Structure 1
Amino acid sequence: MSEVHRYVVSHVLTFAPAIPNVRKQRKLDPGSQVDGDAETAPRKRKRENDLPPETYKPVEEEEPTEEGKPEKESDGFEDIWKVVDMLNERSKLDTLEDVPNAKEVGRKEVKIECNHQIVIREDLGHVCRVCGMIVRKADTIFDYQWEKESRPRSYLYGTRSKDAGEIVVGNVTVSEDLIALDVAIHPRHAQHIKPHQLEGFEFLVKNLVSDKPGGCILAHAPGSGKTFMIICFIQSFLAKDPSARPLVVLPKGIVGTWKREFQRWQVEDMPVYDFYSVNATKREDQLKILNSWQSNMSILFVGYEQFSKIVCCKGDEITAPVCRDMLLMVPNLLIMDEGHTPRNNETNLQESLSQVRTPRKVVMSGTLFQNHVKEVVSILNLVRPKFLNTGSSRLIARRIMSQVAISGRRIPKDPRKFDKAFAESVEETLLHDENFTRKKHVIRSLKELTEDVIHYYKGDILHELPGLIDFSVFLKLSPRQNELVQKLEGYEYLKRSAVGTALYMHPCLSEMSEAGAADKANILTDATVDTLFESVHVGDGVKAKFFINILKLASSAGEKLLAFSQHILPMKFLERLLVKMFGWHVGMEIFVITGDTSAVDRELAMDKFNNSADSKVLFGSIKACGEGISLVGASRVVILDVHLNPSVTRQAIGCAFRPGQQKKVIVYRLVAAESPEENLHETALKKEGISKLLFESNGPHCTAEDFKLNRVSISNCQDEFLDNNAMRRDIQALYT
């Protein structure tokens, strides 16, 4: 009896009478499971992953064998048929190269939740009178009022008002010193705020609204709601000081996301300005927007690159210095989203941001540690100048220097040299010191050093999602690929990375990837890539074959897939391969987001991919597509190559594994076994270990084993997509 037959007999005949009740129970409680044999993994998977997109449109192009057939009514067995389709597809992988994908039918999930109606109880706090839930405890409610305090200060732009505690910039009077005596979350926001966001709100109040305000860092995991928390704070901040002018500096690609969130959560009509929606590329146009922002209670969004250009501009335009001074002097609250971007202290970007006069600077980052400890120190200095060399921080930093493993190195007295020596010594200890006890002492001191400046949240809220399985899949290269790998040793790093990434995908891309930057624009066209398929066998490229097989299984099971790479050529190859094999179209089944994608096209692609029943796969440039966007329509993520910065990969995974995800997310990080890519993977793993040591270790109870990958067998990996002969033949090792 075949696998499909066994599944139908054991599940359809056994559980058919109970299906209507099960469906009702699952809608009310998505986490509930049907009682049954624990070994029926496919059935369990479909109970977790059966929720379709919010809107469903039937596939317009029917398969030839289906034409003319009337649409079938729902028989209550959609979940069973999806699993049968997936098992049937899995059985075909060993015999058929190209099989049309099955169609999926679904229905909307019914969500039941309470729209809290808040009443205030002195003994309890904010309580919902409908369900009785304590939305906000009484001891967390602030009761403050505003006062002013004068302090001598010089200004490049603007003049003093009669009140010693204010300055006048243009037509606006801006409070110079704000002492927090009344900052509270708006009742509408209080209904939705999570406990960790409330802690973050209080952390912001403590640092930004005091007699001596200072900057801080919100290092919350991707998808944990940093944007909503900041929006809550900004509006509470403006409610008590309407003359404040918040400035948000961020990657250009997520400006649209922020503006939508502000419109969603704003409690009073407030203008939101940016340079991009009105195409303000000239200084005089930008000055008009800056004047509007300055004259009204409003918020301004500026991209990192644009901000740096304006501040560093040395042109002859008369408006240029005015624009620069307004960006530096008007804001009294500076928010930097994806704040790891200005981590290099030798760039114009960080120098520009450090010139903003307000001490109220907030860095937001889901992946604070990127490549090196020195970058974290640089960001600390951005929000708190000379952080390691002032106050109590100085004493703790020098204590840490006495703890780390230093071979005959003296502690420098010069602040800049000390910062460098500190970062290098800490990183060396965390990376290479075999004494794990010493590592724990250093980590404990680092947490003490930063506890008042960095608010870290590792994302426990994400535990409420259906789940995440993160695989590192080591694939056996084909004979042709093994022949070509040898010549990679003679290339310098960047070229070796580009050529290797293409070669591991398919050997036919090796020669094309060696072309210079000037020629790649002509090479990366549909017509040029299509010529490769005239004499190419997909099986010669192990990563290409793995990707196609996973996509077939995902499509037959009604799941969508994300594919990320740091290079365009491998994604272009796969895109055209899908067009040739399945007859799919870009913009219908296939979507692509790269650094060249406009903001409008980017938003359109995200929306259609998440919500269209026709969409199957989205290809994304891992850096352009990995920051601050939601692609929860996908439940399978394929990382096509190894990025040396592990935080970039974590951001990409966070596009799917974030609030709003209704299915278990399974990630496949593809690694070419016995190739230079293995060394890159090992280096990236060590860097990721530093991040976990700094932010996720469990104090004295953590051990070295907590940060190592675990090898698992395919039979016990909890992913039925991998448990077939076609996949097993190509997988050399599997880790989680």
Structure 2
Amino acid sequence: MKPHQIEGFNFLLSNLVSDNPGGCIMAHAPGSGKTFMIISFLQSFMAKYPAARPLVVLPRGILPIWKKEFLRWQVENIPLYDFYSVKADSRSQHLEVLKEWVKERSILFLGYKQFSSIVCDTDDGNIAVACQNYLLKIPTILILDEGHTPRNQDTDVLTSLERVETPRKVVLSGTLYQNHVREVFNILNLVRPKFLKMETSKAIRRRILSRAEISSRRNLMKDGFYELIEHTLIKDENHTRKVTVIQDLREMTRKVLHYYKGDNLDELPGLVDFSVFLRLSPRQKAEVKELKTLNRKFTISAQGSAIYLHPNLKALAKNSGVKERVDEEKIDVMLEKLNVKEGAKLNFYLNLLQLCESGGEKLLVFSQYLLPLKFLERITAKVKGYSVGKEMFMITGDSDAETRESSMEKFNVSSEARVFFGSIKACGEGISLVGASRIIILDVHLNPSVTRQAIGRAFRPGQVRKVYTYRLIASGSPEEEDHTTCFKKESIAKMWFEWDEFNGLQNFDMETVNVNECGDIFLETSRLNEDVVALFKR
């Protein structure tokens, strides 16, 4: 175990193995070995409490990774149960698996959706009620991987997890802060019910409210405490007040929240994280004018993502709809008469891909939409002659566990592999793509932690090269505002968890960089930077 894992192990011990046990949050950076640490702890916990029945709730897609890690690190053979490997689909089949788990010293794994659907089931039949009772009353310890998942109040996922009776609830998250301060406190309430009403919390809450800017206090709404923290950290120009709020938050949560920013990643060759603002072509600029007249945020984002790549994609983006049906034949027809130069992001991608090929590096491309990824896959096949499964790979939300695993392994190992296209959500958890050292983030995801998770697929233990990330922003488009919003969200997390008096707060600003002196030999080429109008380094 590394020092931060030993410290984390002892933190778990102090919260969970005591006369008055309570839950806690392990907010350790992606790639810092949370799974190994909790597997080690669970084995020790089960040795001390042989009758214990742990329940691990997690995104279903990463279950195979957990099982693989358990087999790798287990000291003794502990049976691992789940519904999926035995194809238990009905409530009666679920009940049989639950009975086996209760009868035998073992661990149960469930996906978040599966868990909440059972606990929130309105069927009052004997079998459904028995399943609910097992899940709510039997677990001795509840582990929540990617534990920021149940962060939204009044959702089935959060309310069902709150009903689990054990006080031993552990949240594991590499990206605890997602969108708002309120969400972090929802998770604190999950592991420590009525967290803000505990005596120590109440005193600190009063202190934060009393220190806040008077004009901010006047505007407090029902959830004003959380809004006030966000306002102070983002907008308050009083440096001293900012610092005292940060210190108060840390004091309030220090016995419940263990944070590790990932100093082990300092041992890697490094990460350079650029925001690249690209000049749009005249056709793209004309489309952006029309885009700005739309009302729905999702429509602007989805259509914009396609248009900023290439304006010819507008018609397909309009027709792809919510279910994102992509007509590959129409893409192929479009490619016959395509002017690459009319698409700023497409031009950047093709030039970077060529530089990667010449330099012997591999490229990751992430988007939150399927159409841009499919378009890039088809044009890459046409322009470069690449084929899927050899030089190109793709993972989307529809990819099964076997496809994910084989694509990941081939891409990392094969010398022929060149580019990996990934749905940013589907590739955000439990995936290692350390074969790549260049990353394109095609569009702005409004939850910045999703983007951090994606970058963490390549920038993690096992990486042997410096990693360069290019967050592509369409200059003069609605993406600019989204990018600013996301950066503010990220700065709250950094101030809350990473600020110290030696570095001050200025380190959380973006640095403006001269593209010709940015330290990236690829980006300094005229071929790649011809459309760059501004460059920032995070």
The question of a shared fold, defined as TM-score above 0.5 by the shorter chain, is answered with yes
Q: Alignment partner for residue 349 of structure 1, among 150, 153, 157?
A: 157
Q: Distance in 1 between matches of 2:132 and 2:315?
A: 47
Alignment-derived partner of residue 534 in structure 1:
336
Structure 1 residues 299 and 408: alpha-carbon distance in aligned structure 2, compared to 1, 3 A threshold: closer
Q: Alignment partner for residue 461 of structure 1, among 261, 264, 272?
A: 264
Q: Distance in 2 between matches of 1:226 and 1:323?
A: 29
Alignment-derived partner of residue 398 in structure 2:
596
One-letter amino acid of the counterpart of residue 313, structure 2 = L
Alignment-derived partner of residue 282 in structure 1:
90
* Structure 2 residue 522 is the aligned partner of structure 1 residue 714: no
1:425-436 counterparts in 2 under 5 A? 425-436=228-239
Q: Distance in 1 between matches of 2:124 and 2:54?
A: 28
Q: Distance in 1 between matches of 2:474 and 2:267?
A: 34
* Structure 2 residue 303 is the aligned partner of structure 1 residue 502: no
1:15-30 counterparts in 2 under 5 A? none
Retained in 2: the 8 A contact 1:638–1:670? yes
Instruction: Calculate percent identity across the aligned residue pairs.
Output: 56
Give per-residue Cα distances to partners, 1:660-710, cap 9 Å, x unaligned: 111111111111112111111111111111011111111x34434211111
* Structure 2 residue 251 is the aligned partner of structure 1 residue 448: yes
Q: Alignment partner for residue 470 of structure 1, among 251, 273, 280?
A: 273
1:132-143 counterparts in 2 under 5 A? none
Q: Distance in 1 between matches of 2:491 and 2:443?
A: 19
Q: Distance in 2 between matches of 1:519 and 1:231?
A: 37
Alignment-derived partner of residue 732 in structure 1:
533
Retained in 2: the 8 A contact 1:406–1:425? no
Retained in 1: the 8 A contact 2:217–2:228? no
* Structure 2 residue 487 is the aligned partner of structure 1 residue 695: no
Give per-residue Cα distances to partners, 1:698-732, cap 9 Å, x unaligned: 1x344342111111122321211112222231111
Alignment-derived partner of residue 292 in structure 2:
489
One-letter amino acid of the counterpart of residue 16, structure 2 = L
Give per-residue Cα distances to partners, 1:425-452, cap 9 Å, x unaligned: 1111112112122111100111111100
- SS of the equivalent of 2:126 reads coil
* Structure 2 residue 428 is the aligned partner of structure 1 residue 626: yes
Q: CA deviation at 1:525?
A: 3.1
Retained in 1: the 8 A contact 2:116–2:157? yes
Retained in 2: the 8 A contact 1:401–1:411? no
Q: Distance in 1 between matches of 2:87 and 2:360?
A: 40
Q: Distance in 2 between matches of 1:266 and 1:365?
A: 22
- SS of the equivalent of 2:57 reads strand
Alignment-derived partner of residue 515 in structure 1:
319
Q: Distance in 2 between matches of 1:390 and 1:504?
A: 50
Alignment-derived partner of residue 173 in structure 2:
365
Q: Distance in 1 between matches of 2:203 and 2:509?
A: 33
Alignment-derived partner of residue 306 in structure 1:
114
1:211-290 counterparts in 2 under 5 A? 211-290=19-98
Give per-residue Cα distances to partners, 1:398-450, cap 9 Å, x unaligned: 111112224374799xxxx87x2211111111121121221111001111111
Alignment-derived partner of residue 414 in structure 2:
612
- SS of the equivalent of 1:588 reads coil
Q: Distance in 2 between matches of 1:651 and 1:411?
A: 35
One-letter amino acid of the counterpart of residue 473, structure 2 = V
Structure 1 residues 391 and 618: alpha-carbon distance in aligned structure 2, compared to 1, 3 A threshold: same
Structure 1 residues 268 and 518: alpha-carbon distance in aligned structure 2, compared to 1, 3 A threshold: closer
Q: Distance in 2 between matches of 1:372 and 1:396?
A: 19
Retained in 1: the 8 A contact 2:57–2:110? yes
Structure 1 residues 411 and 324: alpha-carbon distance in aligned structure 2, compared to 1, 3 A threshold: farther
Retained in 1: the 8 A contact 2:81–2:97? yes
Q: CA deviation at 1:390?
A: 1.1
Alignment-derived partner of residue 574 in structure 1:
376
Aligned-residue Cα RMSD (Å) equals: 1.6
- SS of the equivalent of 1:632 reads coil
Retained in 2: the 8 A contact 1:436–1:703? no
- SS of the equivalent of 1:573 reads helix
Q: CA deviation at 1:519?
A: 7.8
One-letter amino acid of the counterpart of residue 664, structure 1 = K
Runs (5+) with no aligned partner, structure 2: none
Structure 1 residues 411 and 327: alpha-carbon distance in aligned structure 2, compared to 1, 3 A threshold: farther
One-letter amino acid of the counterpart of residue 47, structure 2 = A
Q: Alignment partner for residue 296 of structure 1, among 104, 107, 117?
A: 104
Q: Distance in 1 between matches of 2:319 and 2:328?
A: 17
- SS of the equivalent of 2:133 reads helix
Alignment-derived partner of residue 144 in structure 2:
336
Give per-residue Cα distances to partners, 1:55-112, cap 9 Å, x unaligned: xxxxxxxxxxxxxxxxxxxxxxxxxxxxxxxxxxxxxxxxxxxxxxxxxxxxxxxxxx
Q: CA deviation at 1:318?
A: 3.4
- SS of the equivalent of 1:514 reads helix
Give per-residue Cα distances to partners, 1:524-565, cap 9 Å, x unaligned: 132122111122111110101101111111122221111111
Q: Distance in 2 between matches of 1:411 and 1:311?
A: 39
Retained in 2: the 8 A contact 1:501–1:641? yes
TM-score, reference length from structure 2: 0.97
1:392-407 counterparts in 2 under 5 A? 392-407=200-215
- SS of the equivalent of 1:288 reads helix
Runs (5+) with no aligned partner, structure 1: 1-192
Retained in 1: the 8 A contact 2:23–2:169? yes
- SS of the equivalent of 1:512 reads helix
Q: CA deviation at 1:353?
A: 0.2
Q: Distance in 1 between matches of 2:213 and 2:82?
A: 48
Q: Distance in 1 between matches of 2:323 and 2:528?
A: 36
Q: Alignment partner for residue 524 of structure 2, among 702, 723, 731?
A: 723
* Structure 2 residue 448 is the aligned partner of structure 1 residue 646: yes
Alignment-derived partner of residue 459 in structure 2:
657
One-letter amino acid of the counterpart of residue 510, structure 1 = K
Q: Distance in 1 between matches of 2:84 and 2:401?
A: 9
Q: Which one has a bigger Cα radius of gyration?
A: 1
Q: Distance in 2 between matches of 1:501 and 1:325?
A: 46
Q: CA deviation at 1:316?
A: 5.6
Q: Distance in 2 between matches of 1:355 and 1:300?
A: 17
Q: Distance in 1 between matches of 2:504 and 2:83?
A: 49
- SS of the equivalent of 2:417 reads coil
One-letter amino acid of the counterpart of residue 256, structure 2 = V
